[in-house]
């Protein structure tokens, strides 16, 4: 039996913050008591914040380590370890690693082709070998407008720790790519397309989307059920999009792009997740609805770091200040994502749950992370 006492802390409980101490026994929270502890060897928090570890449902960070420059394919094991350590250093103790399913072939193929199955195999092997510091699950991002989606869905099963499957549709003229002028700028900047090449690309992708959308959406819904995973939507823009998501059984909406879509999500009981960079920067870099506006309207449930891991804790502290409720702010990155992902064993400071914990002090809206524990073991 191993025990650790964290004392004299601002303990962030599900609904309040209290001055207290927490006893960890064999990797789980064994007791929560008011006041400082007199137990010899207790870690004195000096009234720093003691809160649950962060749960990240959607992050592109592993992709960044796999391809640190365009055309560069970094060794996968090294990339996974670097990603794991970076997240630990940012206070993320559970992550759903986002892997894309569905590729294009022929002249529209760009960037990495099919990769998810091989990478998932490597990642899960490293996890089984004890090489990773934090808890890893899979988030399969199923690209509807693609040619290989159904084949790739069939490569995964219930044994693969797939926790989330998201329905992605990046067909030009749809959702995130509704504004073709903005898409033109993006494709010209990233891929050097001429106007003629862009027009041809858009025409081919629209035709592909119309041909495969219904069948691919059905396949994704069935696959999520087969894996035992939560189904998510992505970039819902209209009420009609949300109505369709609800019909599919979606429970989590990633980054709805409009206020109307976020309202419709709540009307259907679908949790709304927004990006921490949007919140920290004060708005969307692509012209979509601001996360801060959704927070003010009571329509923001969960925050994801998206492409900046360190932004997750910063956004929670910022929300706590916006709402005047630190517990509510931190719940968007702990209890709420745990609930959305059907995780009953973590996400809050409750007796019996995993001792995934952070020690944090703040300087204005900026968090200064001091320590990270995963199941009672110090990892950062």
Give the alpha-carbon dihedral of 52, 53, 57, 58, to 10 degrees. Answer: 130
Higher pLDDT, 201 or 10: 10
Question: 139-198 pLDDT, tens per residue?
Answer: 999 998 888 999 999 999 999 999 999 999 866 667 666 666 666 666 665 666 777 777
**Parallel/antiparallel/unpaired status of strands 302-304 and 271-275:** parallel
User: With contact defined as beta carbons under 8 Å apart, do 127 and 167 qualify?
Assistant: no
DSSP state of 161: -
Measure Cα distances from 339 to 21, 88, 302, 318 in Å.
25, 21, 10, 21
- The token pair that represents 363 in the structure block: 């300087």
The dihedral built from the CA positions of residue 212, 215, 220 and 221, taken in this order, carries a sign that is positive
At residue 365, the pLDDT reads: 85
Question: 340-351 pLDDT, tens per residue?
Answer: 999 999 999 999
Question: 110-138 pLDDT, tens per residue?
Answer: 556 789 999 999 999 999 999 999 999 99
At residue 300, the pLDDT reads: 98
What SS3 class is residue 68?
coil
Does position 234 have pLDDT exceeding 80, yes or no? yes
Domains identified in the chain and CATH numbers = 53-343 (3.20.20.140)
- The token pair that represents 46 in the structure block: 């000096």
Does position 283 have pLDDT exceeding 80, yes or no? yes
Average pLDDT over the chain, rounded to whole?
Answer: 92
């Amino acid at each position: 039996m191993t025990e650790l006492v964290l004392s004299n802390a601002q303990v962030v409980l599900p609904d309040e913050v209290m001055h207290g101490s927490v006893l960890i026994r064999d990797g789980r929270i064994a007791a929560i008591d008011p006041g400082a502890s007199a137990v010899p060897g207790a870690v004195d928090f000096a009234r720093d914040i003691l809160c649950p570890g962060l749960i990240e449902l959607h992050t592109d960070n592993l992709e960044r380590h796999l391809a640190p420059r365009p055309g560069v394919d970094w060794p996968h094991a090294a990339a996974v370890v670097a990603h794991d350590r970076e997240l630990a250093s940012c206070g993320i103790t559970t992550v759903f690693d986002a892997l894309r399913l569905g590729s294009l072939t022929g002249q529209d193929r760009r960037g990495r082709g099919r990769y998810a199955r091989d990478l998932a195999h490597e990642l899960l092997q490293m996890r089984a070998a004890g090489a990773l510091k934090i808890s890893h699950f899979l988030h399969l991002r199923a690209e509807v407008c693609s040619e290989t989606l159904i084949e790739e869905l069939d490569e995964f099963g219930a044994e693969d720790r797939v926790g989330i499957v998201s329905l992605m549709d990046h067909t030009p003229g749809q959702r995130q790519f509704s504004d073709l002028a903005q898409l033109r700028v993006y494709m010209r900047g990233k891929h050097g397309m001429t106007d003629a090449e862009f027009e041809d690309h858009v025409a081919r992708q629209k035709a592909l989307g119309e041909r495969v959308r219904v069948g691919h959406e059905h396949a994704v819904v069935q696959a999520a059920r087969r894996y035992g995973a939560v189904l998510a939507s992505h970039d819902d823009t209209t009420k009609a999009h949300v109505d369709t998501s609800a019909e599919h059984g979606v429970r989590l909406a990633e980054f709805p792009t409009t206020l109307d879509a976020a309202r419709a999500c709540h009307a259907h009981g679908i949790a709304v997740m927004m990006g921490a960079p949007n919140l920290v920067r004060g708005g969307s870099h692509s012209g979509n609805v601001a996360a801060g506006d959704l927070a003010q309207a009571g329509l923001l449930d969960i925050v994801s770091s998206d492409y900046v891991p360190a932004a997750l804790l910063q956004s929670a502290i910022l929300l706590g200040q916006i709402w005047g409720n630190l517990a509510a702010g931190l719940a968007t990155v702990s209890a709420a994502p745990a609930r959305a992902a059907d995780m009953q064993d973590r996400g809050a400071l409750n007796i019996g749950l995993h001792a995934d914990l952070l020690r944090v002090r703040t300087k204005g809206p900026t968090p200064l992370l001091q320590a990270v524990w995963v199941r009672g073991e110090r990892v950062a």
